[in-house]
Amino acid sequence: MFCVGGNMRVGVIGCGYWGSKHVRLLSSLPSVDLVVAVDEQLDRVTELHRQYPGLLPVATIDEALDFVDAAIIATPPRTHAPIAAKLLEAGKHVLVEKPFATTTEEADHLITLADERGLVLMAGHTFEYNTAVHYLRGLVQSGDLGRIYYIDTARLNLGLYQPDVNVVWDLAPHDISILNYVLDSEPTMVSAWGAKHAGSDFEDVAYIRLEYGHVGTAAQVHVSWLDPCKVRRVTVVGSQRMAVYNDLSANEAIRIYDKGVQRPAEPVGNAPISYRHGDISMPHINLTEPLGMEDAHFIDCITKGTPCLTDGRTGRAVVKVLEAAAESLATGRPVYLSTQIPAPAMHPIIVDRESTTTTAT
Ligand SMILES: NC(=O)c1ccc[n+]([C@@H]2O[C@H](COP(=O)([O-])OP(=O)(O)OC[C@H]3O[C@@H](n4cnc5c(N)ncnc54)[C@H](O)[C@@H]3O)[C@@H](O)[C@H]2O)c1
């Protein structure tokens, strides 16, 4: 690995809507010496060069190879794995945007390439770098909500139709990564329904049911590019309390509802169900830009040789669920996944409940 003055030179492959955000954030990181912006649409990188004069703009990956130690891939989903393989084979550390790959076979190939070469391979699961999601995980893992009955997620909008994948591959990676992270587990069953409207070749609305058999709960994921309201919500319903994470609310990202329903321990005749309507609390959460945390973590993992929170295996776990959802959409049948209990996370995020700051161990 070659680093100028110990610092990193990082390429961003694909500088459209999302890649240009990586360019902005990398340009502000003191540990990054040089950002190389790569896009086959040259006007995109020349425009970025105007905004960030220190940046090197090029049109192809081949032109960038000699100038980078690491790269972030933000091209359309079906190009992720081939581009990542090319970069890993050239000895570069790689962060791949979601979805990490479009098959588990591709994901396995990338993991093998990185392992053989001792390179960092990271999945761009941005929500796992979001302090509100860290807080939600803390609520679930500490048992504060009681037994988790179910989780419901909704990611809806009049969304941008993608040219190469359906709404499941575009939006559900976020929800699956949040669910796996918050529950510290992986689904054992996936069942999906979806439909195509608006002349789309791909499903633009879908509902996915996930059973998390290892932790005795289930989740429902609703994703849509065809909904009148923008919604980014995760609802966790527990036996003691309930929590709602609303990604669109800056001040009240997490609301905890002291609400519940209880049956008498020993029902006598028509003894009524009792409803509890308690307080609603909104913990203060220091929101930082998750993508900035993600990019800084990627650079840290390379320079310090520490493991990634969202490594290639985490990326593969999400791809496995997406692949199962695609199979279920095609066959109309549920897909049962390996029942092997996943290994605990290598360095879980610990939530300091007093100050709501988070640290990775
Ligand atoms: N983590 C998140 O929250 C998040 C949010 C949005 C998008 N994304 C992901 O980022 C990726 C890009 O999405 P987008 O909305 O920015 O798309 P986009 O269409 O705006 O940008 C993609 C860019 O890649 C370029 N490109 C394609 N093939 C290339 C190649 N071989 N070499 C160089 N450049 C190439 C295109 O010219 C284009 O400029 C997608 O995988 C998407 O899922 C992630």
Residue 194 near residue 207 (C-beta atoms within 8 A): yes
Query: Is residue 163 domain-shared with residue 300, that is, in the same domain?
Result: no
Neighbours of 97 (CB within 10 A): 22
DSSP reduced 3-state for 86: helix
Output the residue whose Cα is nearest ligand 1's atom 8. Answer: 18
Output the residue whose Cα is nearest ligand 1's atom 36. Answer: 14
Residue 212 near residue 188 (C-beta atoms within 8 A): yes
pLDDT at residue number 250: 84
CA of residue 51 to ligand 1 center, whole Å: 19
Query: Is residue 147 domain-shared with residue 122, that is, in the same domain?
Result: no
219: enclosing H helix or E strand: strand 217-224
> Which ranges of 28-103 does DSSP label H, i.e. alpha helix?
42-51, 61-64, 80-89
What CATH number has the domain bearing residue 208?
3.30.360.10
Which atom of ligand 1 is closest in space to residue 59's alpha carbon?
33
Query: Is residue 150 domain-shared with residue 196, that is, in the same domain?
Result: yes
Query: Is residue 85 domain-shared with residue 110, that is, in the same domain?
Result: yes
Which atom of ligand 1 is closest in space to residue 170's alpha carbon?
43
Output the residue whose Cα is nearest ligand 1's atom 25. Answer: 14
pLDDT digit string (tens) for the chain, length 361 residues? 434 445 899 999 999 999 999 999 999 999 999 999 999 999 999 999 999 999 999 999 999 999 999 999 999 999 999 999 999 999 999 999 999 999 999 999 999 999 999 999 999 999 999 999 999 999 999 999 999 999 999 999 998 999 899 999 999 999 999 999 999 999 999 999 999 998 889 999 999 999 999 999 999 999 999 999 999 999 999 999 999 999 999 889 999 999 998 877 777 777 778 898 999 999 999 989 999 999 999 999 999 999 999 999 999 999 999 999 999 999 999 999 975 654 444 434 333 333 333 332 2
DSSP reduced 3-state for 24: helix
What global pTM score does this model have? 0.93
pLDDT at residue number 349: 39
Six-digit token pair at 112? 């093998």
- Hey, which residues does 8 pair with through a beta bridge? 32
The number of distinct structural domains making up the chain is: 2
User: Dihedral (C-alpha) 290, 32, 14, 321: value to the nearest 10 degrees?
Assistant: -40
Question: Cα–Cα distance between 34 and 27 in angstroms, integer?
Answer: 8
User: Dihedral (C-alpha) 143, 145, 149, 151: value to the nearest 10 degrees?
Assistant: -110
Domain of residue 75, residue span = 4-126+292-310
Query: Is residue 17 domain-shared with residue 158, that is, in the same domain?
Result: no
Of 12, 23, 25, 40, the one to substitute when testing ligand 1's pocket (max ligand atoms within 8 A of C-beta) is 40
What CATH number has the domain bearing residue 22?
3.40.50.720
CA of residue 39 to ligand 1 center, whole Å: 10
Six-digit token pair at 244? 């709602």
CA of residue 117 to ligand 1 center, whole Å: 26
Question: Cα–Cα distance between 23 and 313 in angstroms, integer?
Answer: 26
Query: Is residue 80 domain-shared with residue 47, that is, in the same domain?
Result: yes
| Whole-Å CA distances, 243 to 16, 143, 144 | 35, 12, 10
Which residues neighbour 130 within 8 Å (Cβ) at sequence distance 6 or greater?
Answer: 247, 287, 290, 293
Residue 75 sits at the vertex; the CA angle it makes with 321 and 246, to the nearest 5 degrees, is: 55
Which atom of ligand 1 is closest in space to residue 80's alpha carbon?
41
CA of residue 289 to ligand 1 center, whole Å: 19
Six-digit token pair at 37? 């912006």
User: Dihedral (C-alpha) 35, 39, 43, 48: value to the nearest 10 degrees?
Assistant: -20
Query: Is residue 116 domain-shared with residue 159, that is, in the same domain?
Result: no
Query: Is residue 196 domain-shared with residue 164, that is, in the same domain?
Result: yes
Query: Is residue 81 domain-shared with residue 207, that is, in the same domain?
Result: no
CA of residue 143 to ligand 1 center, whole Å: 39
Q: Which long-range contacts (CB under 8 A, 24 or more apart) does 26-29 make?
A: 26/72, 26/295, 27/52, 27/54, 27/55, 28/292, 29/295, 29/296, 29/299
Question: Cα–Cα distance between 247 and 220 in angstroms, integer?
Answer: 17
Question: Cα–Cα distance between 319 and 99 in angstroms, integer?
Answer: 7
Question: Cα–Cα distance between 185 and 213 in angstroms, integer?
Answer: 9
Question: Cα–Cα distance between 184 and 180 in angstroms, integer?
Answer: 5
Question: Cα–Cα distance between 238 and 217 in angstroms, integer?
Answer: 10
CA of residue 20 to ligand 1 center, whole Å: 9
Query: Is residue 108 domain-shared with residue 136, that is, in the same domain?
Result: no
Query: Is residue 156 domain-shared with residue 53, that is, in the same domain?
Result: no
Question: Cα–Cα distance between 176 and 212 in angstroms, integer?
Answer: 11
Pairing mode of beta strands 32-38, 8-13: parallel
CA of residue 85 to ligand 1 center, whole Å: 17
Q: Which residues line ligand 1 (CB under 6 A)?
A: 13-19, 38-41, 44, 61, 74-77, 79, 97-98, 124, 126
Query: Is residue 112 domain-shared with residue 33, that is, in the same domain?
Result: yes
Output the residue whose Cα is nearest ligand 1's atom 18. Answer: 16
CA of residue 336 to ligand 1 center, whole Å: 32
